[in-house]
Structure 1
Amino acid sequence: VRKRDNIVGMEGSIISHPRTWKASGHLDNFNVNDYLVVCTKCKKSSKIDRPNLGKIKCDSCEGEYDWQNAKMIEQMFKTSIGALNPMEAYLRGETAQGMFLDFKLIQQTSRMQLPFGIAQLGRCFRNEIAPRDFLFRSREFHIGEFEFFIHPDEKKCDLLNDEHLNTKFMFLDEETQKSGSDKLKEVSMKELLQKKKLEEWHAYWLAEQIKWFYSIGLSKIKIREHTKDELSHYSSATFDIDYLFPFGSLEMAGNASRGQYDLTQHEKESKEDMSIFDEKTKTKIIPRVIEPTFGMERVFLAVLTKAYSYDKDRDNIVLRIPAKLSPIKAAVFPIIKNEEYERIAQKIVDNLREDYNIVYDRSGSIGRRYARNDEIGTPMCITVDEKTPEDESVTIRDRDSTEQIRVKIKDLNDVIKKIINGENLLKLGKVVDTRVK
């Protein structure tokens, strides 16, 4: 978001008026899509999606479900506002509606012109009857969403380039799913456009998501097209982005074409004009919307499972998180407990903390300190040693290779920035041979 001129961020309210969710269609659609059923054999309660009613058996014992007594689940969390005459309200089930409600105000105050987007990352709530599967069935979670607004008549995407068109990925289309198969095939975004699976703006944002996942090392992804009977009430085309976790392929992100549905519905319910003046066409219009969505905990879990490894040579865990994603960018150590070394190390920490999240550690052997930081994914360790007082230089150890270079203290900030941006550490200073790796 920060790197784009055509997107602004916001933070909306968690508690919403019922009319918000009536207008969005969630009360009429979201709350009738899932049902509680009980197995006649083992008596286990399960949540079943509407398309699967009457079609599947108990996942625990293969018994038959009591379909006749299936009970609709209200997925929206209810709460109340006020003390004397409490008013019914809901906890948000998605962040999107806050962006639609504030769309016109944000467009006016930010002076954005179409096409532009609004982004939000926040906590959402769903009334799961049986939270399970770790992060995949939980009652509260974080979603990162973009709502990208486009002129309804604009079909051409000027941002779509050859890199987007040539982006390749594994794909499961609607036709294959309806045939009863789950066979994947590698396709390019250009092929999906040619088959009219999506339009150009949708292709652009889906390709941007795929490229971003590839850039953080998550290459084991597949794109699954939603079949017509599972599309959400607001969507004309939706794609799941699934990741191959060690325990199976599961959804971690998605992308939907919401059209003009949300803004039109809020205009109808509120009687407020949701149209904006388009400078290009000199007309008032209600934009259509493309929505890339990220399940933040799921993405984080994918990064962790990809990064986790056990190094036999070191005999410890190494969390190989890309440096740009690591919460701690560097650790600083004095090689031994020495007042002068500790003073220099602390000064380095104080200077670097202006720009990065840095940890300072002076307890235990240097090897033990390296191992501790390997386990939490710290990409580099900076050591103040016997040469530091002489020439104002320190060593930087690379987490993944254990190779070390020596650089001047005054150059540390610049070197760290280059390492975070993906440059090879060994090319940024003099390579040194050390006893402890």
Structure 2
Amino acid sequence: MKIEIDKLISHLKSQGFVFQGSEIYGGLANSWDYGPLGAEVKNKLKKLWWDFFVRRNEYNIGLDSSIILNPKVWEASGHLGNFNDPLIDCKKCKSRFRADKLIEEKFTEMNVGGWTNQEIEEFIREKKVNCPKCEANDFTNIRQFTLMFKTNQGVIEDASSTVYLRPETAQGIFIQYKNSQRALRKKLPFGIGQIGKSFRNEITPGNFIFRTREFEQMELEFFFSPNDSNDWFEYWLEKVKFFLEKIVQINKKNFSIREHDKQELSHYSKRTVDIEFDFPFGRGELWGIAHRSDFDLNQHQKYSGQDLTYLDPETNKKYLANVIEPSVGLERLLLAIFCQSYVEEKIENGERIVMKLPYKLAPYLVAIMPLQKQQNEKANQLYKELLVDFDATFDETGNIGKRYRRQDAIGTPFCITIDFDTLTDNCVTIRNRDTMSQERIEITKIKKYLVEKLI
């Protein structure tokens, strides 16, 4: 990516995509609000994901589970015992870091997943991994830092009322797997998709909306028989790649696929693949596909005492389903789309900033622009007609060149100009955002024209 992240952030703020959270009170670290245009893009992205992975997929159904779950859920999943990060402090400047990330950021080819705290500490000392802030090589011992947000449910705040904000949406799916399967009489294989908020008390959040403490996940848990001969992992990997390339139009040159080696695999995983995107600040995980085996259902069956096995109607045998999990952070995918869409171009009369968002993700598909106020009545009539079927905006302020630049900056694919001739020939001029080419078209053909562009 040949863009500066600070330029992108400034642009997204000034144009109404993303704002600093609680800004009028001095802000809140790592907190971001989505403005009028950002909310539009975010909701459209969620709809595209839902349509592709849930509504239009022959295997899958949807769910919307609670953010606050019974604490025993997190005991069973292992989050209470294992969901923590190795925390380390610089003794000189008092800055705090994740010890594993200190190593991985200096030695980019390394992955320290599976290392013990002692191994990490010894490596930092021996290889002189210095503090990024003050360059000192004098750190505290590692302490484990829990990533779950703790709160209390009910009137009295004591140990018995302790609950947690969910750190992932997956467990809500697992604990409702049996109910969903029974209610819809689903046969294996089938999947359950969910979009929802998750919360992680990250030690070192940052890089804008890439890593935040409050985020949304778009997650699918696909259940299948352990004896199923189909390669469901490759099936979902190909689906994810198709979605990235064809649906949200991520250039395949901007992402890569990284297979986890055995040492890096989570304890429950048989195979994991990360799809990584080349962000302006470096390569980062965008989408993960994991083979979770029957770990989660097995754990919840043990801790709850409930039978979560599936009775195969063909063999009349019971077994626990295996799971493939394609999971993506909504904000990370949104950031990748913003990074790829933001373009600074030199044009004949200067330069322009344009957000070349996919048509289906642009906040507005079309802007209606009366050339002069005399055409306002005709322009308003067309605007209201198009609003029935398309996301449209009305722009009447400033000269036409400035209005084009404004719409370019927010990613509007098409601008329709109503001029004096419109009143007599019933035609308008349509300008294309990406090519800046213009063509004259009859008003009666506009809807067909726009529908064809969305296909």
Q: Where on the TM-score scale, by shorter chain, does this alignment land: which range?
A: 0.7 to 0.9
Alignment partner, residue 293 of structure 1 = 327
Q: Which of 96, 120, 136 is matched with 1:45 structurally?
A: 96
TM superposition shift of 1:91: 0.5
Alignment partner, residue 413 of structure 1 = 447
Q: Does residue 364 of structure 1 match 2:382? A: no
Alignment partner, residue 98 of structure 1 = 172
In 2, distance between residues paired with 1:37 and 1:244? 28
TM superposition shift of 1:308: 1.0
Aligned-partner SS, 1:89: strand
In 2, distance between residues paired with 1:263 and 1:6? 19
Q: After superposition, give the CA deviation of every residue in 1:227-285 in whole Å (9 maximum; x if it has no partner).
A: 32322232121111111122211111111001111111111111112123334444433
Alignment partner, residue 5 of structure 1 = 58
Alignment partner, residue 396 of structure 1 = 430
Q: Does residue 251 of structure 1 match 2:279? A: no
Cα gap change, 1:234 to 1:244, in 2 (>3 Å)? same
Alignment partner, residue 232 of structure 2 = 201
TM superposition shift of 1:375: 0.4
Cα gap change, 1:281 to 1:408, in 2 (>3 Å)? farther
Alignment partner, residue 262 of structure 1 = 296
Aligned-partner SS, 2:402: helix
Alignment partner, residue 269 of structure 2 = 235
Alignment partner, residue 80 of structure 1 = 152
TM superposition shift of 1:331: 1.1
Is the 8 Å Cα contact of residues 344 and 351 (structure 2) preserved in structure 1? yes
Once the two structures are superposed, the pairs formed by residues 300-315 of structure 1 within 5 Å of their partners are 300-313=334-347, 315=351
Q: Which of 49, 68, 91 is matched with 1:15 structurally?
A: 68
In 1, distance between residues paired with 2:82 and 2:180? 28
Q: Does residue 119 of structure 1 match 2:119? A: no
Q: TM-score, normalised by structure 1?
A: 0.80
Q: Which of 296, 321, 327 is matched with 2:363 structurally?
A: 327
Aligned-partner SS, 1:364: coil
In 2, distance between residues paired with 1:37 and 1:336? 63
- State the identity as a percent: 41
Alignment partner, residue 87 of structure 2 = 36
In 2, distance between residues paired with 1:58 and 1:268? 45
Q: Does residue 26 of structure 1 match 2:93? A: no
Q: Which has the higher helix share?
A: 2
Please report the RMSD computed on the Cα atoms of aligned residues, expressed in angstroms.
1.9
In 2, distance between residues paired with 1:277 and 1:352? 52
Q: After superposition, give the CA deviation of every residue in 1:112-149 in whole Å (9 maximum; x if it has no partner).
A: 32211111111111111233232333211111111111
Q: After superposition, give the CA deviation of every residue in 1:44-74 in whole Å (9 maximum; x if it has no partner).
A: 211124637222323414533535x321101
Unaligned runs of 5+ in 1: 157-199, 422-437
Aligned-partner SS, 1:312: strand
In 1, distance between residues paired with 2:446 and 2:317? 54
Alignment partner, residue 162 of structure 1 = none
TM superposition shift of 1:384: 1.8
Alignment partner, residue 131 of structure 1 = 205
Q: TM-score, normalised by structure 2?
A: 0.77
In 1, distance between residues paired with 2:80 and 2:193? 24
Count of matched residue positions in the alignment of Structure 1 and Structure 2 = 373
Q: Which of 212, 218, 221 is matched with 2:251 structurally?
A: 218
TM superposition shift of 1:207: 1.7
TM superposition shift of 1:208: 1.5
